Structure 1
Amino acid sequence: MSGLTLVDAANVLAAQPFSRLLGTRMVRFDDSGASLELDLRDDLRQQFGFAHGGVIAYLVDNVLTFAGGAVLGPKVLTAGYTIDLLAPASGPLLLAEGSVVGRSGRRAVCRAEIFNVADGEKLLCATAQGSIALAGSKAERS
């Protein structure tokens, strides 16, 4: 485990201007992964009233990176991910759950699930898998 706590992770999230703009909350962070919550406001919806795909992608990116950070430490970057959209999300709450599939050297493979939460029920809206890498690679230094 990285030695980071839920408070540490929440502080990292709060240091991200875009996450503050959206109002994202860190609700779980441990050695198995992370969970984020986001209230689905009207300005985050597309023309049919559902969560914009960019909002889903943002949640995937962040929860995958926090999950990877749980095993790699705080200096991590997203190396790539794929998303499958399964159902539209209408809110009022979006929940992103990220978990670590495995780690090898400077990378962790992580899984994300995005849920629409309404009336106490969770509906799976998207699933994703991604690769998280330790920052400070040779390419970054040049």
Structure 2
Amino acid sequence: LLDFEVLICDPRTEFVYGWAEQQGRFVPGMPDDAVLSIQTDERTAIVALTHDPRLDDMALLTALDSPAFYVGALGSRVNSQKRRENLAQLGLSEAAIARLHGPIGLHIGSHSPAEIALSLLAEIVAVKNGIALKQKKPAEGT
């Protein structure tokens, strides 16, 4: 509905089937290979959603060195910090790591998958439209 072409990649067999064509196009293979195969450009947003660092981090390594305008990964603040540390250990530059959005989404008090998706898409649209993002989540105790 937002005029994005949605591509889905997950090498786990239990997630390969059941995607209706109107939901998105399935790209087979490993996520890092999929990022390379789609030929990212400045109109590309890439989001890692599996919670599995073996899948997400390899895709992020490739995505963060691409011209994609948005690269994000699902996870808590603690896991997002661990992910950044892992990416640094894998040799990714500080500048590339700084491009990573995580935790993804704008703070709207999301609890359900639909609300999380809404907050993520709102963040992607804001970045696409050149809107400076403010603090995503209030500091503890405020």
Q: Same fold (TM over 0.5)?
A: no
Using the size of structure 1 for normalisation, the TM-score is: 0.29
Larger RCO, structure (CA 8 Å, separation 6 or more):
1
Using the size of structure 2 for normalisation, the TM-score is: 0.29
The structure with the largest strand share of the pair is: 1
The structure with the largest helix share of the pair is: 2
